[in-house]
Amino acid sequence: MVLDVTARNIDEKDAGKQILFSDQKVWWEIGKDLEGRMRYGAWQIKEIVDLTLQPMETRKERFLMNFDTDIETVEVEVNLSYYINGKKGDVIYSEKKILEYDFD
């Protein structure tokens, strides 16, 4: 699974300067690395599974974003993708919010 978080300055006309923040968090199949090779033995995998997120539970992730004081409107986009294999991924959750700041 891959969680992508992007913050854009939608008031900026130059597309190259729009992205203010971008980060990604990656989770992979327990016991295997990104190339599909085994990383842990069976007893280590059981310990990891016992400590992981259980079905129907949620986890909150926080990302610290700092913006310049002259930026008043920011669009934050979050996409959560599930990869069945290393190449084909499906977006299972997506949300976009516009945050407005008023500095007096």
| Mean per-residue pLDDT of the chain | 83
Residue of 99, 73, 86, 95 whose CA lies nearest to 34: 86
**Greater model confidence, 38 or 22:** 22
Nearest Cα to Cα of residue 1 among 36, 33, 29: 29
Instruction: Burial-class residue 71 by CB neighbours within 10 Å (0-12, 13-18, 19+).
Output: middle
> Cβ distance 22 to 75 under 8 Å?
no
What pLDDT is recorded for position 70? 85
Q: For the sheet containing 2-9, what is the strand order?
A: 19-26, 2-9, 73-83, 89-100
Q: What is the pLDDT of residue 32?
A: 67
Q: Where in the chain are the domains?
A: 2-100
